[in-house]
Amino acid sequence: MHIVNGKRVYAAINIYAEDEAYDEIIEQAKKLDELKVDGIIMSDGGVIDSVKEVAPNTPVHVSTQANTVSYHACNFWYKNGAKRVILGREMSKDQIKTLMENKPKDLEIEIFVHGALCFGYSGRCFLSEFLAGRNGNLGDCAQSCRWSYNVYVEETNKPGNLMPVEYDEKGTYIFSSKDLCLIKEIPEIIEMGIDSLKIEGRLKTEYYLATVVNAYRNAIDDYCKDPKNYDYLKYFNELDKTKTRGLTTFYFNDKNNKDFQDYEGHQYNNNYEFGGKIIEDQGDRMLIEIRNKLSVGDSLELIVPGQIEPIKFDIEKLWNDETLEEISTVNPGRAEQKVILNKPDLKLKKDWILRRKK
C-alpha cells in the first residue's frame, strides 16, 4: 500500500468509456500502477478488464456507478478481480446486512454516509449531458438537478396552451435532493462490518471537507473506543455548521422514505463560512490564506484534525502580510490573499482550516 502522510490514495477512472477513450485510459492506468495507488475506482466492465491487464498490481474498486445493490452482483465483481465494491446509495440497512452476510468473505464493502445525492440512479444520470453538454458519466457533471426550473402543464386538446405549475419567485427545484447524513447511524454501520465509509465531496470547498471528514473520523474513533456512550449530536452539531440543502437518511432506515427532495432550493446553515487556511505558525501570530472578508472583532473557529470541538477565538489584531502594517479588515480581492493575525495558544499546522461565524 502507498501511504502518504498516513493516508491511502485512490484514483477514479469511473467513466463509461467509448472506444476512443481506451488508449488514454490504459496510459493512465499504467502510470497509476507505477505510482502504487491503493486502488483504482471503476464502473465500466471494459475499463476494469483493460486496467487489470496493464495494472495487475493495483486493486480494483468497483464504483457506486456500477449500481451494485445485491450480493449476487458482489459475487460477480469478486470473480472478476474486485477487491472492494462501493454499494449503490439506494440500499436500506436491512439489504446491506443481507449482502454482508452472503458476500465473499474477503471482499471489502464501502458505502456512502454523507453528502449530495444524485437525482439519477447511483449517479447514472444524463440530465447534465442533455442540458449543458457536460456528461456526468465522464466526470463532468454540471449538477443540472440543482438548477431552478419553470414547470408547465399542457392540455391535450389545446396544444401550446401552457399553464404554469405553482412555484415561487425562484422557480421550482423538482430535481434537487437533500444531502445524505448517516452520523446517527454510525454504530449500526460499524456493527455491520462495513470496511470503508464514503463522503461525497464533489465541487465542495476545503472547509466543507475538513468539517465533514473530521466529524465522521471522530465519530468512528469515539464509538470504537466507547460504544455505550456514543452521542451523535456532538458530531451533528459540527456538520450543522456547513451549508446543506437539508439532510436526509434517504433509504437507509426505510425504503419507503419520501423525505429526501428539497423542492424549495434553500441553503441551510448559513451562520458560518470559510474563513481561511493556515499557511504558517509565526509564534504568537499566524499567516493565513483568506477565503472571505475578515475584520478585527470577528469570531473564528479552528478545526483541529482528530478533535471534535473546534478552538474558538476572536480576531484581536490584523497585519498586512507584506508591510506588517496593522489593519482593521481584509478582503479576498486577489488569488491567494494572505493576512497575519493573532492565534490561539497551540502549535498550528499548515492547511488547518478556520471558519468564521457570521
SS3 for 355? strand
The whole-number pLDDT of residue 132 equals: 83
**Do strands 82-86 and 108-116 pair parallel, antiparallel, or not at all (unpaired)?**
parallel
Q: What is the pLDDT along the chain (358 residues), one digit of tens a residue?
A: 566 678 899 999 988 999 999 999 999 999 999 999 999 999 999 999 999 999 999 999 999 999 999 999 999 999 999 999 999 999 999 999 999 999 999 999 999 999 988 766 666 676 777 678 887 767 778 887 777 777 777 777 878 877 666 566 655 666 678 899 999 999 999 999 999 999 998 888 999 999 999 999 999 999 999 999 999 999 999 999 998 888 999 999 998 888 887 766 666 778 999 999 999 999 999 999 999 999 999 999 999 999 999 999 999 999 999 999 999 999 998 889 999 999 999 999 999 999 999 9
Are the C-beta atoms of residues 126 and 136 closer than 8 Å to each other?
yes
Q: What is the pLDDT of residues 268-303, one digit of tens each?
A: 778 999 999 999 999 999 999 999 999 999 999 999
38: its cell numbers: 491503493
Phi, psi of 348 (to 5 degrees): -95, 155
Q: Count the alpha carbons within 13 Å of 260 in the hemisphere toward its beta carbon.
A: 21
242: its cell numbers: 456547513
Residues near 237 by Cβ (< 8 Å), separated by ≥ 6?
none
Report the C-alpha gap between 7 and 119 in whole angstroms.
Answer: 31
**Do strands 311-314 and 318-320 pair parallel, antiparallel, or not at all (unpaired)?**
unpaired
Give the angle 126-29-43 at the CA atoms, nearest 5°.
35
Cβ count near 270 (within 10 Å): 9
Q: What is the pLDDT of residues 122-151, one digit of tens each?
A: 666 767 776 788 877 677 788 877 777 777
CA nearest neighbour of 279 among 330, 329, 341: 341
Phi, psi of 356 (to 5 degrees): -110, 130
Cα Rg, the chain, nearest whole Å: 23
Are the C-beta atoms of residues 21 and 15 closer than 8 Å to each other?
yes
**With the C-alpha atoms ordered 11, 15, 21, 22, is the resulting torsion angle positive or negative?**
positive
CA nearest neighbour of 263 among 179, 177, 180: 177
Report the C-alpha gap between 351 and 339 in whole angstroms.
Answer: 14
This prediction's pTM: 0.86
Are the C-beta atoms of residues 222 and 230 closer than 8 Å to each other?
yes
Domains of the chain: 3-124+177-248 (3.20.20.70), 273-357 (2.40.30.10)
Residues near 27 by Cβ (< 8 Å), separated by ≥ 6?
none
SS3 for 332? coil
Give, in order, the Cα–Cα distances in Å from 157 to each of 1, 154, 161, 163.
Answer: 66, 9, 9, 13
